[in-house]
Amino acid sequence: MDDLIADFVSECRDMLESLGGEIVAWEAAPQDRARLDSIFRFVHTVKGNCGFFDFPRLEALSHAAEDALADVRAGRRQPDPALVSGVLAVIDRIGEMVEVIAAGSPLPEGSDDDLIEALKPGAEQTAPAAPVPATTAVSQGQAAPRTIRLSVDLLDRMMSGVSDLVLARNELARRLRDTSTDVAVASAFERMSGIIADMRDAITRTRMQRIESLFVGLPRMVRDLSAELGRQVLVDIDGGDVELDREMIEMIRDPLTHIVRNAVDHGIETPAERLKAGKREIGLLSVSARQSGNQILIDIVDDGRGIDGERLVDKAISAGILDRVEAARLGPKERLQLIFEAGLSTAKAVTSISGRGVGMDVVRSNVERIGGVVEVDSTPGQGTRMTLRVPLTLTIIPALTVSIGAQHFAIPRVAIEEIVRASGDSVELSEVGGAGLVTIRGRRVPQIVLADLLGLDSGLPDEERTLIVLKPAGGDVYALSVDRVHDHEELVVKPAAPAVMATGLYAGTTLADDGSPILLFDPAGLARVGGVRFEAQERSVRLLDDVAPNEASEAATPVLLFRDCMAARRAIRLGIVDRIEEVSGSAISLSAGRVRVQLGQDIIPLEGLDRLPAPDSKIKLFRLSDGQSQLGLAFSDVLDLDAIADQIIPAEAPGMIEGVTLVAGEPAELIDAHWLFASAARPVAEPSSSTPVCRLDLDDPWVRNMLRPIVEAAGYRVITFDTEAEADLAIASAGADVGHTARRTLFLSADADGAANENHLYRYDRAGLLVALREAAAGKNG
């Protein structure tokens, strides 16, 4: 009896696995008699078996569903959303009971009358249905071949045996290479190698499973989501006959489910929104699979609203993932990659489906853990394509063996981009801010020295090591410095001990030809543990030595070091740089008496050029902002990001250069941002100096980055509003509370027409400001 029940449970599971999609597809095409017959056959089989095994609850449920479906088959009833929802609810309950039976537990007491009533004509839906339910276009394949059931443990033992056989072949091959072998022995070895390879492939195929088992639940899930969210979605599924390692299928089930849920929730719009955008009411979600070499590619494509890269960047800046300088350097592809950052969500509201900032980072990490890649491509207003690239199997992979001293390790070959000698003419080693860098043929990438990372004795100088350029899943590139590179081999990968895996460095363990253990590196894990900032490194012209916000203080101001268009070494305070742009020379012109540049829909003043560029040239510029207005500053190259803490030697006359200071140990001219903005609106007056104390609101970025340098250049010592000391002058925004006492208070307005008297100035009235500074210094109006 136990064997019969086990067969019953196994048969029910197999049929349940495919029924969810069949019912949803039948709802969309009621005339499809084949699907109706397969659904009817399932409930009929369950009813018959329940009578034999004495499962009265199961029998009553399946009998009610059979009666309803029999009426449809006889033409006495038409299928509608209420009937489909009722049948789905019954099949869900049957599935729950089958799992209870499989666990060896008795079926719980209870009533299923509500589900049975929902199957009757005129009954209300058991769950809300979408205005147009999700449907599916699953391709009809040929009849499945005859199969038998095998124990998974038996398959694993067979695969383990084949793996050991591959290792033995590798060891024999190495020994034959080290000795003189006659032709007959070599021929016999080659024949044996071919047989082993065929056997390995055959055993590997026994672990394969049609990816259809991964897809069958998607139509039902999309239908339920569509009903909940008020969407109308057509699901198109293709490639269900592609085969994949059964363990791989289980590992990508959750990532695939999350991507599909996101596509319905975030991607596909409501019918009203789609009509307004000129689309048809029903959205299309396509899920397909295909094999490419030793990889399986799964595409999830929707025709929804797409991903807003600008919104992702804004969210990343707000969340502290990016600063504005990094954000300005992002290309369209790099902006889309921000969707995989932990804690980043573009959802407008948190729902039961999404919006908590978790999910896509987990999707990527889960796929990368099995050696896969997640790719994203999106066009706003047109839709999004997500592609999962996963290996066919995890058990035997091509790898490169390397060593540090006497210790050997393996690296997956799929992650290796190139191998170069550190002493090569095209290779240059350097260090910035304590981080190792390597420049290969002009391409600068971070460097990880494996011996240092693992704390192993190497004995080789840097220039004698070998560099392996790795591009792990996710797209980031870095160079791994090792002592020696050995053979390319097919290695059998097995799980490592939990303590080893917890380091985050390894993907598993393998055996060398001589049977000695070798740890297999996880390239992405090496990058994380080695300090390569994932995702950030690929952002164009990456600045590796960022100044942390908590390191910046009143005595150390973050600055961006660059060379201007005349090759002069200059710096500008980071706080006023909104972004970095690259424009065509045709966007720059002389108009209204000054040089201006068109940036999208904006035309702003441009400084830093000694002549107008050629129309077909490319010009880089900083887009500067004071919170109210913008202007551009042309430059040649960004050199670094640093902080200034030393005294600034002021310029002898007002102008673009505030003074000279040391940046990264060398002199650099500091840009006077206040002068730039003032010159764009008002004439320039000469400054004076010598007053003791001025009270400023240093919490205001405009005051800190633009006003304070002017006040200090005039000889003032600056204090904050909450400092308990008397000041000769307090400068504040109009209407602000200046806190403690001052001999004179000067209010600045952002509106040029808002200046009412001598104590109220337009904030870019440099002449008026300098007069006030001189008067306060001389003790006037006190």
Q: How confident is the model at residue 302 (pLDDT cuts 50, 70, 90)?
A: very high
Tokens 């060896």 sit on residue:
104
As to burial, measured by CB atoms within 10 angstroms (0-12 exposed, 13-18 middle, 19+ buried), residue 269 is buried
* Cα distance between residue 310 and residue 334, in whole Å: 11
Q: How many CA atoms lie within 13 A of 744 on its CB side?
A: 21
Return the residue matching tokens 């006492």: 741
Q: How confident is the model at residue 689, as a pLDDT?
A: 46
CA distance 730 to 722: 12
Q: Go through the chain and tell me how many residues it has.
A: 782
Coil, strand or helix: which one is 399? Answer: strand
Over residues 281-290, the pLDDT tens digits come to: 889 999 998 8
Ranges of beta strands (E only) in 691-768 are 693-696, 717-720, 729-733, 745-749, 760-762
Q: Are 288 and 241 in contact (CB under 8 A)?
A: no
- Going by C-beta distance under 8 Å and a sequence separation of 6 or more, which residues neighbour residue 519? 409, 410, 496, 500, 505, 506, 508, 509, 510
Q: How far is CA 741 from CA 84, 638, 695, 718, 771, in A?
A: 77, 44, 9, 14, 21
CA distance 251 to 18: 19
Please list the residues that pair with 226 across neighbouring strands. none
Strands 637-644 and 618-625: unpaired
Q: Which amino acid is at 484?
A: R
Quick one: which of 417, 419, 415 has its CA closest to 397? 415
Paired tokens of 537:
């490194």
> Who contacts 326 (Cβ-Cβ below 8 Å, separation ≥6)?
536, 539, 543, 546
Residue range 104-116: mean pLDDT, rounded: 79
Question: Tokens in use for 747?
Answer: 């209010």
286 and 301 Cβ atoms separated by less than 8 Å: yes
pLDDT at 123 over 50: yes
- 511 or 311, which is more confident: 311
Q: Return phi, psi of residue 515, to 5°.
A: 90, -5
- Class of domain 210-391 as given by CATH: alpha beta
What SS3 class is residue 568? coil
* pTM summary value: 0.45
Say whether pLDDT at 620 is over 50. yes
Asked whether the beta carbons of 252 and 300 are under 8 A apart, the reply is no
Residue 764: band (very low, low, confident or very high) from pLDDT cuts 50, 70, 90: confident
Q: Assess whether pLDDT exceeds 60 at residue 115.
A: yes
Domains 2-128 and 210-391 fall in the same CATH topology: no
Would you place residue 1 in the very low, low, confident or very high pLDDT band (cuts 50, 70, 90)? low
Of 335, 331, 327, 325, the C-alpha closest to 635 is: 325
Q: pLDDT band at residue 546, thresholds of 50, 70 and 90?
A: very low
Does 143 score more than 50 pLDDT?
no
> Does the pLDDT of residue 145 top 50, yes or no?
no
At 359, is the pLDDT very low, low, confident or very high (cuts 50, 70, 90)? low
**Comparing 51-55, 129-133, 579-583, which segment has the lowest mean pLDDT?**
129-133
Return the pLDDT at 755: 58
List strands edge to edge, sheet with 443-449. 416-421, 466-470, 478-482, 443-449, 435-440, 427-432
Tokens 């029924």 correspond to what residue?
19
Lowest mean pLDDT of 2-6, 260-264, 436-440, 771-775, name the range. 2-6
Contact 480, 470 (CB under 8 A): yes
Residue 42 and residue 19 in contact, taking contact as beta carbons nearer than 8 Å: yes
* CATH code given to domain 549-681: 2.40.50.180
Indicate the DSSP class of residue 417.
E
Beta bridge partners of 607: 633
Query: 420, 444, 442: which is closest to 432 by C-alpha?
Result: 444
Cα separation, 548 vs 750, in Å, equals 30
How far, CA to CA in Å, does 457 sit from each of 405, 423, 430, 451, 500?
7, 20, 21, 7, 20
Confidence of residue 464 (pLDDT cuts 50, 70, 90): confident
Higher-pLDDT residue of 685 and 332 is 332
Scan for tokens 């590139």, then name that residue: 477
Does residue 578 carry a pLDDT above 80? no
CA distance 335 to 313: 7
DSSP H helices in 288-396: 309-318, 324-328, 332-337, 360-369
Q: Can you give the residue ranges of every domain in the chain?
A: 2-128, 152-208, 210-391, 396-529, 549-681, 693-777
Alpha carbons 356 and 337: distance in angstroms, whole number: 18
What's the per-residue H, E or C state across 690-713?
A: CCCEEEECCCCHHHHHHHHHHHHH
Q: Is residue 605 within 8 Å of 596, Cβ to Cβ? A: yes
Q: pLDDT exceeding 90 applies to what percent of the chain?
A: 2
Q: Any alpha helices (H) in 126-182, and if so which ranges?
A: 152-178
The CATH fold assigned to 2-128 is Four Helix Bundle (Hemerythrin (Met), subunit A) (1.20.120)
Residue 323's CB: how many other CB atoms inside 10 A? 18
Residue 653's H or E segment, with its range, is none
Contact criterion met (CB below 8 Å) for 445 and 437: yes
Is the CB of residue 605 less than 8 Å from the CB of residue 629? no
pLDDT above 70: residue 137: no
Cβ–Cβ under 8 Å, residues 606 and 588: yes
What whole-number distance in Å separates Cα of residue 764 and Cα of residue 682?
Answer: 7
Q: Name the helix (H) or strand (E) containing 639.
A: strand 637-644
Q: Which two tokens stand for residue 79?
A: 């299928």
Is the pLDDT score of 702 beyond 50?
yes
What is the rounded distance in angstroms from the CA atom of residue 468 to the CA atom of residue 438?
Answer: 11
State the CB neighbour count (10 A cutoff) for residue 73.
Answer: 13
What average pLDDT is seen over the chain? 76
Q: Which residues contact 166 (CB under 8 A, 6 or more apart)?
A: 196, 200, 396, 490, 492
CATH superfamily of 396-529: CheA-289, Domain 4 (2.40.50.180)
Confidence of residue 537 (pLDDT cuts 50, 70, 90): very low
What is the C-alpha separation between 99 and 222, in angstroms, rounded? 24
CA dist 765 → 478, 624, 678, 680, 707 (Å): 50, 19, 7, 11, 11
Distance (Å, rounded) from C-alpha 483 to C-alpha 481? 7
Range of weakest confidence among 96-100, 137-141, 324-328, 768-772: 137-141
* Terminal-to-terminal C-alpha distance of the chain: 104
pLDDT at 309 over 60: yes
